[in-house]
């Protein structure tokens, strides 16, 4: 078959993912600033052609959008939202309340003493109101709270929990809903398919609902999933999808990327505090991914997308965490400086066997 490659690197015979899955769910990826600021036009071309939804990979996190107490910086986030609007994409803001990538000043007063509950709530409210109002009617959905649960399903001990208490989650959703009643609001976390964490998530959503708090969906991150069929297993994924959808909220696969490299820490899971040193044996595919691994990756992607299609009535969106392998965060986590291959497009912006395997899932029955 002849493949024509256009000037911007998208071959013209590739079906667009957003068309392929139009009847099933939105599909897209997380974008870094270079994709929208003109520095990485080939990545932008992939996003424009294939994505019906985008998420801000980093620029909307507190440390970037609100770096100092009285300073909000909307330059990069405006570029991101403009890009999404120009391309008629469903835009996801990520993330309003999280314990990572949040500056230390957020939790202390001018004298460096821990804030009181009331002062931290006021700060949270100011942040949420300022950011969400700035994009009112333009950002379609917000990851309101990110990663508030521990692996055991209990609430994670973060500064938010310590200072405000467990209602910090309900408050964050309430502020976001007040700031833009038309935006969808989500809880987003990794490893939610593990039964203990799944149950914790179900308790959390039920608790919010019983208090009349507005929540539209739960984001199953899909971060650093692996090739092994049990990481995560089909059964755990289906149980999660069914359990969350039974609560009457949407299920979204929000940060999908598949780690093909040797395990360096406990995985799957994406706890950013876990890290390991670079050793040669942890970085075996410096010169390219061997065919047998490409095939495994394609099979794994196909398995997961077939499952998403089976549950397309419950899944509203599938978002990959990045656009192409070169800029995936998995090149640097949990080990810095590796060469990983987690996405559907390779380092030369070309579709991988995994891309075609994913497309093929849409051609078969559910
Ligand atoms: C978590 C966050 C994301 C991102 C990834 C790593 O999953 O939700 O924003 O930081 O970790 O890129």
270 lines ligand 1 (CB under 6 A): yes
Name which residue sits closest to atom 2 of ligand 1, judged by CA: 146
User: pLDDT category, 270, cuts 50, 70, 90?
Assistant: confident
The confidence score (pLDDT) of residue 6 equals: 38
User: What spacing in Å lies between the alpha carbon of 2 and ligand 1's midpoint?
Assistant: 38
User: pLDDT category, 9, cuts 50, 70, 90?
Assistant: very low
For the segment 100-110, the average pLDDT, to the nearest whole number, is: 98
State the catalytic residues: 147, 255
User: pLDDT category, 168, cuts 50, 70, 90?
Assistant: very high
Convert the pLDDT of each residue in 19-70 to its tens digit.
Answer: 999 999 999 999 999 999 999 999 999 999 999 999 999 999 999 999 999 9
For the segment 306-330, the average pLDDT, to the nearest whole number, is: 98
User: pLDDT category, 4, cuts 50, 70, 90?
Assistant: very low
User: CA-to-CA distance for 99 and 101, rounded, in angstroms?
Assistant: 7
Q: Which atom of ligand 1 is nearest to the CA of 321?
A: 12
331 lines ligand 1 (CB under 6 A): no
Residue 8 has pLDDT above 90, yes or no: no
The domain spans of the chain are 7-269+277-362
The confidence score (pLDDT) of residue 297 equals: 98
Which CATH number is correct for 7-269+277-362, 3.20.20.80, 3.40.470.10, 3.10.520.10, 3.30.1330.10?
3.20.20.80
Residue 3 has pLDDT above 70, yes or no: no
Which tokens belong to 133?
């109002």
Convert the pLDDT of each residue in 144-167 to its tens digit.
Answer: 999 999 999 999 999 999 999 999
The confidence score (pLDDT) of residue 2 equals: 34
For the segment 215-243, the average pLDDT, to the nearest whole number, is: 96
- Among 54, 93, 255, 328, which residue has the most ligand 1 atoms within 8 Å of its CB, making it the best to mutate? 255
User: What spacing in Å lies between the alpha carbon of 168 and ligand 1's midpoint?
Assistant: 20
For residue 302, what is the enclosing H or E element? Answer: helix 291-310
Segments of the chain assigned E as strands: 26-31, 53-56, 90-97, 141-146, 184-189, 217-220, 225-226, 250-256, 258-259, 315-320
User: CA-to-CA distance for 183 and 136, rounded, in angstroms?
Assistant: 8
The confidence score (pLDDT) of residue 11 equals: 52
329 lines ligand 1 (CB under 6 A): yes
What percent of the chain has pLDDT above 70?
A: 97
Which tokens belong to 37?
């600021």
Residue 198 has pLDDT above 80, yes or no: yes
What's the full length of the chain, in residues? 366
Higher pLDDT, residue 294 or 363: 294
Residue 213 has pLDDT above 80, yes or no: yes
52 lines ligand 1 (CB under 6 A): no
The confidence score (pLDDT) of residue 271 equals: 84
User: What spacing in Å lies between the alpha carbon of 85 and ligand 1's midpoint?
Assistant: 23
8 Å CB contact between 325 and 345:
yes
Residue 245 has pLDDT above 90, yes or no: yes
For the segment 99-126, the average pLDDT, to the nearest whole number, is: 98
Residue 268 has pLDDT above 80, yes or no: no
Mean pLDDT of the chain: 95
User: What spacing in Å lies between the alpha carbon of 191 and ligand 1's midpoint?
Assistant: 13
For the segment 109-114, the average pLDDT, to the nearest whole number, is: 97
User: pLDDT category, 235, cuts 50, 70, 90?
Assistant: very high
């Amino acid at each position: 078959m002849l493949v024509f490659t256009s000037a911007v690197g998208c071959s013209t015979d590739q079906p667009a993912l957003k068309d392929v899955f139009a009847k099933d769910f939105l599909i897209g990826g997380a974008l870094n600033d270079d994709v929208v600021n003109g520095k990485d036009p080939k990545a932008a071309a992939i996003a424009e052609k294939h994505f019906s939804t985008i998420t801000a990979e980093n620029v909307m996190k507190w440390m970037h959008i609100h770096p100092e107490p009285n300073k909000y910086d909307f330059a990069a986030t405006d570029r991101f939202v403009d890009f999404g609007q120009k391309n008629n994409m469903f835009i996801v803001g990520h993330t309003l309340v999280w314990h990572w990538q949040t500056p230390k000043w957020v939790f202390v007063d001018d004298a460096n003493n821990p804030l009181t509950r009331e002062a931290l709530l006021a700060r949270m409210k100011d942040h949420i109101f300022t950011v969400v109002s700035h994009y009112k009617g333009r950002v379609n959905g917000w990851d309101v709270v990110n990663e508030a649960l521990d692996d055991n399903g209990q609430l994670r001990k973060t500064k938010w929990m310590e200072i405000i208490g467990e209602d910090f989650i309900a408050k964050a959703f309430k502020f976001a809903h007040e700031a833009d009643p038309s935006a969808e609001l989500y809880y987003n976390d990794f490893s939610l398919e593990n039964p203990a964490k799944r149950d914790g998530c179900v308790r959390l959503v039920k608790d919010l609902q019983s208090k009349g708090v507005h929540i539209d969906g739960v984001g199953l991150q899909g971060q650093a999933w692996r090739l092994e069929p049990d990481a995560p297993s089909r059964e755990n994924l289906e149980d999660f999808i069914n359990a969350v959808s039974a609560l009457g909220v949407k299920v979204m696969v929000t940060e999908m990327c598949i780690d093909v490299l040797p395990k360096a820490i406990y995985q799957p899971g994406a706890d950013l505090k876990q890290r390991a040193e670079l050793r040669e044996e942890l970085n075996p595919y410096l010169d390219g991914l061997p065919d047998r691994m490409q095939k495994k990756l394609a099979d794994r992607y196909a398995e997961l997308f077939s499952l998403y299609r089976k549950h397309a009535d419950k899944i509203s969106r599938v978002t990959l965490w990045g656009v192409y392998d070169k800029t995936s965060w998995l090149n640097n986590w949990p080990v810095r400086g590796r060469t990983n291959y987690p996405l559907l497009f390779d380092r030369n912006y070309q579709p991988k066997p995994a891309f075609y395997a994913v497309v093929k899932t849409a051609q078969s029955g559910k």
